[in-house]
Structure 1
Amino acid sequence: MAYKVFIVEDEIVTREGIRDRVDWRDNGFDLCGEAPDGEIALPMLQATHPDVLITDIRMPFMDGLELSRIVRERLPDTKIIILSGHDEFEYAQAAIKLGVTEYLLKPVTVQDIHRSLRQVAAELDRERQSREDLTRLRSQALQTQANLRERLLLDLVVGAVTSAQAIEKAEQLDLDLVARAYLVAVIKIEAIDPAAQFDYQAYSRTCSNVARVVESNSDVFLIQKDLEELVLILKGEDGDAVVRRYAELRAQIDQQAGLPCCKLVIRSGTPKRRITDICASFVEA
């Protein structure tokens, strides 16, 4: 995908020369706009969100340094290339303080622009790759956390963990398990026609439908135990509260989660006061 460039230059000959003579595509860029000064450019920049701004430093109405300062605040990811006819320390120092990527002295050649664009493109590529790597790592971390949460909940259901172990692991996984009452429900997904071939797509859609019903309930945990069973763990203030919540949730699932080719068989155990008795409620279900 090409990066977007915007040009701001009050000298029309210079602006058109850059616009028409630079090989944008060959350097991995698309020209997304141009303007004669910073004041006119600013709303256009906010609308187009360019990856690179090429701007003259001395212009009427709003100069390149002021424009760069505003762009740095409002579009912090935009790279800035400043064109200057002034080989003076104060201008270069001001540009450095603003975090300008390139500072080119006029007269600027096409080769100068090409070289700067290639350097900026390489920097943008590195940043894009870093963002993609970070997104992938975050996704992997979230998936790992989700898997560990499900493993812990399954251990509770089958009685393979003590209350102390469960609470400690839950805290590590940012999972609030502490409550005064627990109830387990089992959802079996069965084909309307027992002789029909197993329809994994329909099964998957049904699981997704159940998950959508459950996901807004912070006191309900959903586990996919196997290809036949989903398990719900409900927690609440007391036994009556979890029974009422189960009845409400069951009605929602019956109304929203089923498919014409599948039926949902839902059963529950009785409320339990101890976290280690979650497995007993599961056995009852």
Structure 2
Amino acid sequence: MDSSFKASQALEPPSRSAYPKLIDGGTYMYSYIIVDDEPLIRRGMLKKLQAFDQDITFAGEADNGIDAIELIKQANPDIIFTDMRMPEMDGKSFLRVLQLDFPEKKIIVVSGYTDFEYMQEAISAKVVGYLLKPFSREEIHDTLRKAIALIDQEHANQQKFETTEAENEGVKYHSDLQTLSNIALGFYSKNKAPELISDISNRLLNAQSFFVVTAYASDKSHHELAGRFLTQNCRSCLYLKHAHNEQLSLLLFYFSQDEDTHIVAQLASTYFQASGANITQDLFIGISQAQTTLIELHQAYEQSISALNDRPIHDTSHIYSFYDQHSELAVPDWEKTDELLFHVEAGNIQKVEELLSEYFTFLTEIPLITLSSIKRCSQKLIQEVRWVLSEYFDSIMKNSSSASFDSVMEASFEIDTIRSYFLHVLPNIAEIFKEKKIYGSQNLIDNVKTYIQKNYRKELTLEKISSLFFINPSYCSYLFKEKTGENFIDYVNSVRIDNAKLMLKNSEEKVYKIAKSLGFNNPKYFFRVFKKLTGRTPEEYRMM
């Protein structure tokens, strides 16, 4: 397994065998050599070339082809001026060697002979020019300009080709990253083999184990910095952007052999450090178990999300693995849930905000509570709110889920985000109910009766009702008896038994289950009350 980190390296510059040296101003310094067996000819040629009006460097001279080849290897010139008649290796043989071993060099033949044989060899070697001795300064300068123009054109063409190739590979690479992200997020068919088109495919197809690490950061700028660091420095990691949540990013770790979570945790800690985050900043990392195929990346992603959700909110660490998940925590019911729902329905916005603050304080004070437990409690509360809404809005089904809530929960990995959602949504719902004036009667007992008729399934005590309507329990009991002619508990039982009769006639549900659903915790008490008010047992009533 190669999981080492390396320093970021710059791209190597083009070889001098291919391009001249780049100097200040973006121009190129060209170099040349002179090959001729006559020193006076070499000296005269050098004098003419030194008067050239462009940057060009004399790189050396040789008096025969063999020495010239060694000089070319050492000096790596761009342009070669050569005679055709030389000792050791004549011009014809020299041109053939250049054509075979140094095809990129620009050759200018200088000769005192006009034999067709030499001209033919020069043409075959694709020389830039053929100068006949004696030649003028202008002639050699014109030929040199032609050679430089050819070098510049080839250089431009090569740069264009490399740029196009790099752009094409870049497009393929980012396309593959998108494909891998889609697989991880579940937007890719499980029955379809991943189709990767860039060079990255070779590395991934040879991998034996894959891990998905999902990182959450409240500040999304952490992801760009850390993702860039890891992809440049970690040979076994790919940085994948999340398609819908800028606060999430995915890291795909792949290894050529089986690895465990611990090595990935070490690499993930480097992500944390590279992000610039510190212990006061909210950045959390969830690690999946090892998977053996790319198509299993979605399972790995879900495991990494599960690891994030299983985070104890009071924990000071930032890296969690699916392997280390905690056991399910039993969270006690919040005793003020019904009070909160009542004030939502009553349109009491201020009281809703106060109770929500108490609710989240209650949750955060539970030792070892995890983010997933808070999400489950929140799910239960929002379902209770939707139940209330369904009583007044036909578009909302009693047991239906909330797409907006589910979306927020899926993307939330901090309790503050969940708290903000409730503090935004529930007061808005209370604002809607405020216009309905459900408990807007001037008669207090009418409002109490409305509440009982709507909430007969819940625990209903005189103390609870008195608290909701801000009155003394004794006075509430007295006032209820005076206005209705019956005791509070008798009225509650009559409402429940009326609904029990409907359920007995319209369903085949067992009697004890009906009793429990109506708020009777003791089935025997339900039987006694039912017979008292109807003169029959529940079974007898059902058979009528």
Q: Provide TM-score, normalisation by structure 1.
A: 0.78
Deviation at 1:155, TM superposition (A): 1.0
Question: 1:118 & 1:209 partners in 2: Cα distance?
Answer: 46
Deviation at 1:52, TM superposition (A): 0.7
Deviation at 1:81, TM superposition (A): 0.8
What is the correspondence of 1:1-285 to structure 2 with a 5 Å cutoff? 1-23=28-50, 25-165=52-192, 167=194, 169-170=195-196, 172-173=197-198, 175=201, 183-188=211-216, 204-212=224-232, 214-215=234-235, 217=236, 221-225=238-242, 228-233=247-252, 244-254=259-269, 258-259=273-274, 261-262=276-277, 265-270=284-289, 278-285=297-304
**Cα 1:36–1:227, aligned 2, differ >3 Å: closer, same or farther?**
farther
Residue 194 of structure 1 is matched in structure 2 by none
Question: 1:213 & 1:99 partners in 2: Cα distance?
Answer: 46
Task: Look up the equivalent residue of 2:37 and give its one-letter code.
Answer: D
Question: 1:114 & 1:236 partners in 2: Cα distance?
Answer: 59
Runs of 5+ unmatched residues, structure 1? 191-197
**Cα 1:203–1:124, aligned 2, differ >3 Å: closer, same or farther?**
same
**Cα 1:275–1:136, aligned 2, differ >3 Å: closer, same or farther?**
closer
Q: Which has the higher contact order (CA 8 A, sep 6+)?
A: 1
CA contact (8 A) 2:83 2:110 kept: yes
Question: 1:22 & 1:173 partners in 2: Cα distance?
Answer: 48
**Cα 1:28–1:165, aligned 2, differ >3 Å: closer, same or farther?**
farther
CA contact (8 A) 1:28 1:121 kept: no
CA contact (8 A) 1:234 1:246 kept: no
* 1:29-65 CA distance string (max 9 Å, x none): 3222222222332222111111110011112222222
Task: Look up the equivalent residue of 1:71 and give its one-letter code.
Answer: L
Deviation at 1:99, TM superposition (A): 2.8
Question: 1:32 & 1:111 partners in 2: Cα distance?
Answer: 21
Deviation at 1:248, TM superposition (A): 1.9
CA contact (8 A) 2:213 2:288 kept: yes
Question: 2:156 & 2:94 partners in 1: Cα distance?
Answer: 28
**Cα 1:3–1:227, aligned 2, differ >3 Å: closer, same or farther?**
farther
Runs of 5+ unmatched residues, structure 2? 1-27, 305-544
Residue 12 of structure 2 is matched in structure 1 by none
Deviation at 1:222, TM superposition (A): 3.5
For 1:22, what is the secondary structure of its paired residue? helix
Q: For this pair of structures, how many residues does the alignment match?
A: 268
Question: 2:149 & 2:267 partners in 1: Cα distance?
Answer: 53
Name whichever of 98-107 and 76-85 sits farther off.
Answer: 98-107
Deviation at 1:6, TM superposition (A): 0.9
* 1:166-188 CA distance string (max 9 Å, x none): 52x32x44626678976422134
Question: 1:181 & 1:43 partners in 2: Cα distance?
Answer: 51
Question: 1:17 & 1:101 partners in 2: Cα distance?
Answer: 20
What root-mean-square deviation, in Å, do the aligned CA atoms of Structure 1 and Structure 2 show? 3.3
Deviation at 1:281, TM superposition (A): 3.0
CA contact (8 A) 2:212 2:301 kept: yes
**Cα 1:246–1:92, aligned 2, differ >3 Å: closer, same or farther?**
farther
Question: 2:175 & 2:134 partners in 1: Cα distance?
Answer: 61
CA contact (8 A) 2:113 2:132 kept: yes
Question: 1:274 & 1:19 partners in 2: Cα distance?
Answer: 66
Deviation at 1:162, TM superposition (A): 0.8
CA contact (8 A) 2:210 2:252 kept: yes
CA contact (8 A) 1:210 1:253 kept: no
Deviation at 1:247, TM superposition (A): 2.6
For 2:47, what is the secondary structure of its paired residue? helix
**Cα 1:148–1:106, aligned 2, differ >3 Å: closer, same or farther?**
same
* 1:70-99 CA distance string (max 9 Å, x none): 233332210111111111111111222233
